[in-house]
């Protein structure tokens, strides 16, 4: 009693729930919902009508067998197939029992034990398949949850990947912008460096200008004086040759011609001296060619010592200093870039005169006796040439001794130094494979040593 209607109700409800969980199907969900209502209606009708109960049961079986057919045929209902197979034996046994009971009561009594045993087997079958189905459902649920977690992880990974790609693009763009900015800044720094080097070169050239003017004046005075004397001698010769043959003094003419010849030699000598000074000035002012030349290092050092001194004297007539030289004549000529080494020597000598003048100004008006002294010497030691420039100024404090060769570091007041003189000198000496060192003592003086390979 009520078996087909109850099974129909349970199967409609289970199928609806299962399908909604796995894959929402609005159309079939509606049909199964109507089926639930029909099954409830059949149960109620079967309970209220004794006379029509058999026919209502048959109708329930018809609905049930139709539902079996539908669920087994449609692939979308595969998740409920196990439950269908589980209830089919019970439904069939119940159907057979219902037919025999209504159409053959005597046969039903004879077959009742067999039907009861079959029903027991059917329930065992139902329990076993439902247990298997439940276990399978749990396994499938775990798999589904695991797949969902994997899907979420995959989605999260994709999201993170997309975010990382965006960050990489943004970072690349930022780095590209920084690179462009750094290249622009580097170009500006290189341009500024060139300007500062040129400024330093012009500053050292300014130091030379007054000294060059003084130095070039001496040979020019000699040239002018000897030219005037020679002109007077030539006039005397012309006057002597204008006399009668017996009155001419040939000895005087020969002496005058000899003196004129000597004057021409002196004019030529001092003319070359002036030309050498101009040549040195031009070499100092132009950019280094980078070509090494055989150069008399003693002559180069002596030249820049006098030029630097007279340059400072032109600015301050009251300044006087003692200059000492000690040149090793055995050195001869060495292979160097004269413009570069000339700038090195000039920078060191100019600094030496600056510090001795600074010390002289500091003790002005006191009772201390002080004579400014700048010395330069050259010597040959094994395979090296050593140039030593020393002074008796105030020396360099230990706190800044390690900084003096750093670019842009200067102890001079603002506007009097670029801070590149010693730095460039250090680099030029290094470029020659040499070494620039300093030894100093506060209150005693400093000594700069330039070592150059032969």
Does residue 263 fall inside a structural domain? no
What's the mean pLDDT when you consider all of the chain? Answer: 78
Torsion angle defined by CA atoms of residues 347, 348, 354 and 356, in that order, rounded to the nearest 10 degrees: -170
Number of separate domains in the chain? 2
Checking if the pLDDT of 11 tops 80, the result is no
Does residue 173 fall inside a structural domain? no
More confident residue, 273 or 43: 43
Q: Could you tell me the CATH number of the domain that includes residue 361?
A: 3.30.565.10
Grade residue 217 by pLDDT with cuts at 50, 70 and 90: low
Domain boundary among 103, 136, 157: 157
Grade residue 241 by pLDDT with cuts at 50, 70 and 90: confident
- Dihedrals φ, ψ of 288, to 5°? -60, 135
Domain range enclosing 64:
3-157
Does residue 206 fall inside a structural domain? no
The residues, any chain, with a CB within 8 Å of residue 122's CB and separated by 6 or more, are: 89, 90, 93
The pLDDT value recorded for residue 374 is 93
Checking if the pLDDT of 144 tops 70, the result is yes
| 210-224, 237-251, 288-302 — most confident range | 288-302
Least confident piece of the model among 147-156, 346-355, 358-367: 358-367
Can you tell me the mean pLDDT for 387-409?
82
Encode pLDDT of 58-111 as tens digits. Answer: 787 788 888 788 877 877 777 777 777 777 777 777 777 777 777 776 666 666
Does residue 52 fall inside a structural domain? yes
The residues, any chain, with a CB within 8 Å of residue 88's CB and separated by 6 or more, are: 68
The pLDDT value recorded for residue 378 is 93
Does residue 171 fall inside a structural domain? no
- 191, burial (CB in 10 Å: exposed 0-12, middle 13-18, buried 19+): exposed
Q: CA-CA distance, 251 to 261, in Å (whole number)?
A: 15
Domain boundary among 139, 157, 175: 157
The pLDDT value recorded for residue 343 is 83
- Where does residue 303 fall: left (phi above 0), alpha (psi -120 to 50 degrees), or beta otherwise? alpha
Grade residue 168 by pLDDT with cuts at 50, 70 and 90: very high
Does residue 429 fall inside a structural domain? yes
Does residue 210 fall inside a structural domain? no
Checking if the pLDDT of 115 tops 60, the result is yes
Domain boundary among 141, 157, 173: 157
Least confident piece of the model among 145-159, 242-256, 366-380: 242-256
pTM for the model: 0.47
**Could you identify the residue written with the tokens 């159409």?**
103
Grade residue 222 by pLDDT with cuts at 50, 70 and 90: low
Can you tell me the mean pLDDT for 267-284?
67
Does residue 195 fall inside a structural domain? no
Can you tell me the mean pLDDT for 308-329?
83
The pLDDT value recorded for residue 418 is 55
Grade residue 286 by pLDDT with cuts at 50, 70 and 90: low
Checking if the pLDDT of 247 tops 60, the result is yes
Share of the chain above pLDDT 70, in %: 77
Encode pLDDT of 189-198 as tens digits. Answer: 878 767 766 6
């Amino acid at each position: 009693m009520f078996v087909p209607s109850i099974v129909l109700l349970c199967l409609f409800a289970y199928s609806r729930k299962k399908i909604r969980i796995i894959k929402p199907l609005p159309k079939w969900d509606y049909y199964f919902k109507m089926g639930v209502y029909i099954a409830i209606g059949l149960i109620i009708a079967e309970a209220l009508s004794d006379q029509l109960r058999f026919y209502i049961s048959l109708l329930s079986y018809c609905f049930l067998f139709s539902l079996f057919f539908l669920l087994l045929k449609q692939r979308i209902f595969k998740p409920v197939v196990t439950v269908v197979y589980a209830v089919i034996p019970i439904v069939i046994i119940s159907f057979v029992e219902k037919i025999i009971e209504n159409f053959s009561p005597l046969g039903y009594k004879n077959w009742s034990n067999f039907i009861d045993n079959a029903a027991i087997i059917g329930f065992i079958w139902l329990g076993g398949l439902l247990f298997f189905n439940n276990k399978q459902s749990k396994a499938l649920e775990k798999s589904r949850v695991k797949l969902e977690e994997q899907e979420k992880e995959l989605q999260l990974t994709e999201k993170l990947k997309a975010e990382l790609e965006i960050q990489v693009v943004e970072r690349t763009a930022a780095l590209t912008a920084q690179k462009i900015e750094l290249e622009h800044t580097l170009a500006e720094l290189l341009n500024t460096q060139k300007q500062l080097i040129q400024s330093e070169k012009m500053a050292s050239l300014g130091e030379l200008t007054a000294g060059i003017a003084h130095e070039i004046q001496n040979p020019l005075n000699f040239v002018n004086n000897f030219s005037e004397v020679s002109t007077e001698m030539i006039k005397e010769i012309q006057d002597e040759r204008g006399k009668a043959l017996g009155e001419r003094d040939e000895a005087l003419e020969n002496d005058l011609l000899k003196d004129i010849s000597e004057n021409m030699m002196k004019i030529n000598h001092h003319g070359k001296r002036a030309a050498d000074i101009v040549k040195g000035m031009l070499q100092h002012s132009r950019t280094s060619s980078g070509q090494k030349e055989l150069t008399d290092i003693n002559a180069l050092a002596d030249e820049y010592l006098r030029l630097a001194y007279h340059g400072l004297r032109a600015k301050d007539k009251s300044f006087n200093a003692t200059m000492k030289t000690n040149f090793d004549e055995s050195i001869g000529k060495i292979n160097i870039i004269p413009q570069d080494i000339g700038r090195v020597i000039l920078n060191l000598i100019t600094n030496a005169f600056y510090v001795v003048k600074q010390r002289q100004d500091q003790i002005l008006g006191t009772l201390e006796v002080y004579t400014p002294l700048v010395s330069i010497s050259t010597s040959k030691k094994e395979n090296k040439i050593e140039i030593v420039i020393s002074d008796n100024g105030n020396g360099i404090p230990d706190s800044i001794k390690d900084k003096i060769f750093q670019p842009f570091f200067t102890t001079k007041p603002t506007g009097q130094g670029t801070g590149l003189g010693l730095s460039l000198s250090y680099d030029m000496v290094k470029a020659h494979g040499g070494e620039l060192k300093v030894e100093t003592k506060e209150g005693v003086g400093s000594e700069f040593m330039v070592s150059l390979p032969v």
